[in-house]
Amino acid sequence: MSPRFSHVFQFGQRWLNWLNRQPPDSVRTVVMETMVKIMACGTSLMGWSIWRCPDPQCNSEKRVKFTCKSRSCPHCGVKAYLQWINNTLAWLPEAPWQHITSTMPCEYWPIYSRQPLASR
């Protein structure tokens, strides 16, 4: 089995060491909850379902561990991202190119309104 992303945080207790160096109450609750979800994702801590062979003669079963379904999780977030891409592409018209317009806050306008640099 390949190592999970959460192992980066758990190896040598990196996450706990970092957390202990932070001032009290400086780490937001949502960050703590997200890290707990990421580290528990796909483990027995999240629970599991048992799939059994329907043949009465067969005793095979498999435990499928639940995932955290957090958008910040490298495993679950990628799945949600890919689903969003597929759903978005499904309603976009077939075209050799796509044009998407985005907006930005007015505070950033001066950055983009500067004159372009002269070519050298």
Segments making up each domain of the chain, as ranges: 1-45+63-90
Residue 66, classified by CB atoms within 10 Å of its CB into exposed (0-12), middle (13-18) or buried (19+), is middle
pLDDT tens sequence across 21-54: 889 888 898 888 888 888 888 888 889 999 998 8
Check: pTM over 0.75? Answer yes or no.
no
Residues 5-18 as b/e (b if ≥16 CB within 10 A, e otherwise) read: ebeebeeeeebeee
Distances (CA, A) of 89 to 2, 31, 94: 31, 31, 9
100: nearest Cα among 112, 86, 89: 89
pLDDT tens sequence across 90-118: 888 888 877 777 788 888 887 777 655 55
